[in-house]
Structure 1
């Protein structure tokens, strides 16, 4: 082992203002592995950690790790394997700094002093039991147009490849156990989990959709599809161009949440909006999501006198079982031809989505089918549209002629039960 680069530097608020993502160079020659260690006082600062190689982005830990290992064939979760000669960079994220600045030490060693954690990397599913039957075997059936099925899923989740605690297989097992048909795995600023999704998907009978949460201090967006890395360091307009150009889909995530609400400017609206984030469960009478969606659709006209808004999706933002809720909280329903990642994304692209609190039988749901807006298991609740018109739902399968606009089912106490 040899230390090939060592940096010791105080980063100040001036440094943060000048460049939030400083790059510290190092050179690899013919080493089979390298290791990076980051040290700073975590009681007063938050410094993110990542890496870029001669061939592009390698990976990102955010604030979840203070070291990583990369070898020719494996890497710490969050990073892609592969070493090669050339100029590399440790990438820092100056997320939070005290007024006096933070002393940061970065050490690069080649070869690495320790092996890669193979369990986290390979997504081994030997330790996570497969449910005895597939999600569809006992899952819920909602009324759908001919040739389509409403599939239950979740479009926001995390694993050990970013700041989650679950391996990919553990996450898939939890989602399948909650009778989900699909799950988007959206780790922060990395695509290192992509290669592990197909095998785990086959093992657990659940469609795992490749995604990445493009994460910055001014807001987050999910990019869905096999589209390559979306560089979070670039302006958000470039994210949108990159995702659209590669045939993917992009959603604005939790646009009203705490310190990561959406503040970016983009020249056109992304096609998707994470309308129902798990944080909404703190107060389901909160009307801010409706106001945001109404503003998001703006004055756009579809030529028929209607103002279409973004396609609505939901996300649990699942990180760990310790949060106390499973993937699918809330549940995004997608009407698709089959439960594959490609068909699910196509259904979303065409706007065939609905959201409920969970996938469970008996949970109120609201879907569009056969030219009707159909409420299921919601007798005694109220159907509300964006104009505030309210209609009492009289039976457990209740339909009205389809109307263009966002509708919700409310309980008598005004808490939201379902959206379409």
Structure 2
């Protein structure tokens, strides 16, 4: 057994120079597994953890873990299994929070690993509930409005739920699909089809490309996107591979989007769960109105923990698609056929439980249709207001005047579309 120990003194100057610090080590030929542990004082610093193999990226756990195991047939969630190839590897340290006096980080590598990978917890399938697609929102011929959530995390990054647990919550929330968007890894992709089939929900492959300057979701089975490169590279590479990139929660505290872009992606997560704290804020609309080409609107709960107030589908993104397959859902997003509501619950809104049905606002050609929104007010991006006087009412709506949203008398926003 080979044991390698490295001590790295991380300073603010080093953090200023490079946010992702490689700590190299050599893997001999014939190595069947390895184990990495880092130690530092978490009260003083925040150090993220990742792994780059000789043949490419092996995974990321950010600040959720301080160790990982890689075996031929299994790996710590967030990391790709496979016998370690010979050559130079790197333990990647993300220098997230560094004190003025600096901090010592001890890196310990063991080859072969001293223990097996613990089993991943299972989650029983949820009973099928009424899904969003059962609601029958008016759609163009050949299309159905499917209800989903474009932002969720599992134990493959900093979530506490196994993939099956997230899927079961999505089913219980009335969703037809969910995107699994773990941070800076695609280790979860290999498990999505089987878990989705077992629970009866479409699980879209995703990756939250996560940096201190902002986050973006890359959707599609397109492989790993390198978060360490310029954000423009994310946009171009995701498009080249046939995926969809969305800027996440562009106005959200210290996770707001501040990357510079010459060419922007097609989508934006305009309604994020953090917006629930101030649903009369028009800050997301102000940001959106600076987007010269317009964008496809998405919503995401960003669910991590089962005890969080946000659940899958808060908010819900509706996509008009031919079917609920991952390919059809992403094609609907590319075509801009989306709408966002507070939830998918048919018996009422999570924002206003006493409403009989969650209000919705969907586009049909040159009109937007307010559904179950009698008594609400339709507002466009310029602030013009029109009263909704019936359960199904259509309004002429030029896309250039968006985003359109439904509000209560107290100005709380219940639904939106472009």
Normalising by structure 1, we get a TM-score of 0.94
**1:314 corresponding residue in structure 2:** 299
Alpha-carbon offset, residue 204 of structure 1: 1.3
Select the residue among 304, 308, 330 that pairs with 1:345: 330
Q: Does the CA-based 8 Å contact 2:33-2:111 persist in structure 1?
A: yes
**1:97 corresponding residue in structure 2:** 98
Q: 1:132 to 1:313 in 2, by over 3 A?
A: closer
Select the residue among 256, 259, 269 that pairs with 1:274: 269
Query: What is the rounded CA distance, in whole Å, between the counterparts of 2:313 and 2:134 in structure 1?
Result: 13
**1:47 corresponding residue in structure 2:** 47
Matches within 5 A, 1:312-391: 312-361=297-346, 362-369=357-364, 371-391=366-386
**2:108 corresponding residue in structure 1:** 107
Unaligned runs of 5+ in 1: 298-307
Q: Does the residue aligned with 2:7 lie in a helix, a strand or coil?
A: strand
Alpha-carbon offset, residue 133 of structure 1: 5.6
Q: Does the CA-based 8 Å contact 1:135-1:205 persist in structure 2?
A: no
Deviations 1:188-214 (A, max 9, x none): 000000000000111111111000000
Q: Does the CA-based 8 Å contact 1:364-1:378 persist in structure 2?
A: yes
**2:228 corresponding residue in structure 1:** 233
Q: Does the CA-based 8 Å contact 2:55-2:85 persist in structure 1?
A: no
Alpha-carbon offset, residue 159 of structure 1: 0.2
After the TM superposition, list the runs of 4 or more consecutive aligned residues in structure 1 that deviate by more than 6 angstroms: none
Q: Does the residue aligned with 1:321 lie in a helix, a strand or coil?
A: coil
**1:79 corresponding residue in structure 2:** 79
Alpha-carbon offset, residue 148 of structure 1: 0.1
1:153 aligns with 2:148: yes
Deviations 1:115-151 (A, max 9, x none): 112225xxx4xx4233146736x84221111100000
**2:126 corresponding residue in structure 1:** 130
Q: Does the CA-based 8 Å contact 2:152-2:302 persist in structure 1?
A: yes
Alpha-carbon offset, residue 416 of structure 1: 0.3
Q: Does the CA-based 8 Å contact 2:279-2:413 persist in structure 1?
A: yes
Query: What is the rounded CA distance, in whole Å, between the counterparts of 1:113 and 1:63 in structure 2?
Result: 23
**2:254 corresponding residue in structure 1:** 259
Q: Does the residue aligned with 2:34 lie in a helix, a strand or coil?
A: strand
**2:394 corresponding residue in structure 1:** 399
Query: What is the rounded CA distance, in whole Å, between the counterparts of 1:211 and 1:7 in structure 2?
Result: 34
Q: Does the CA-based 8 Å contact 1:135-1:206 persist in structure 2?
A: no
1:222 aligns with 2:217: yes
Matches within 5 A, 1:152-231: 152-231=147-226
Give the RMSD, CA atoms, in angstroms.
1.3
**1:70 corresponding residue in structure 2:** 70
Select the residue among 385, 394, 419 that pairs with 2:416: 419
**2:349 corresponding residue in structure 1:** none
Q: Does the CA-based 8 Å contact 1:243-1:249 persist in structure 2?
A: yes
Query: What is the rounded CA distance, in whole Å, between the counterparts of 1:368 and 1:6 in structure 2?
Result: 59
Q: Does the CA-based 8 Å contact 1:273-1:310 persist in structure 2?
A: yes
Greater shift, 362-371 or 90-99, is seen at 362-371
Alpha-carbon offset, residue 9 of structure 1: 1.8
